[in-house]
Structures are given as structure tokens and as C-alpha cells.
Amino acid sequence: MEKKIIIKAENGIHARPAGNIVKLASGFKCDITINGINAKSIMGLMSSGISKGDEVIVKTSGVDEEEAMNALLELLNNLD
């Protein structure tokens, strides 16, 4: 699955949001990427430079991809 989303978090994806994303993503068996970066890698996400207003592409692939996509979109839409 693939979806585009605009990041609304004031400070983009920094340490705390990256940690929340990794924690959520690690609970799923499928592969999850955000702009091609493994969503289960905190260092990858923290160094991504994703800022407020950026459009990102979220991809999920595997057995629980739909559940993972829904959960990740919910989290990304509610980052602060």
C-alpha cells in the first residue's frame, strides 16, 4: 500500500516523534517506509530532515500492511 500525507507536526520528525513512529512500526510484521526510510529505524527517521509541511510517502508491504498503514497515518496526523 502507498499513501501520501502532509506532516503537520510543528517541529517535523525529530527525536520524540521518531521514537513514537519506530515503537508503533516495530509492532507490525510488514515492511514500512516513510520516503524510502525504514520506519523501524530511529536513526534513519531522525536524520531524514522531514519538516512541517513536507509531503511524505508512506509504504507498507506484507501480511498486516493495511492495519499498519491505518495506524501509522493516525499517528502521523496527530504528531505534535
Q: Determine contact, residues 72/57, Cβ cutoff 8 Å.
A: no
What residues have CB less than 8 Å from 46, skipping those under 6 apart? 13, 14, 15, 18
C-beta neighbour count of 79 within 10 angstroms? 19
- Fill in the DSSP letter of residue 78: T
Is residue 52 part of the annotated active site? The answer reads: no
Write down the catalytic residue from 1, 14, 35, 73.
14
List, by residue number, the catalytic residues.
14
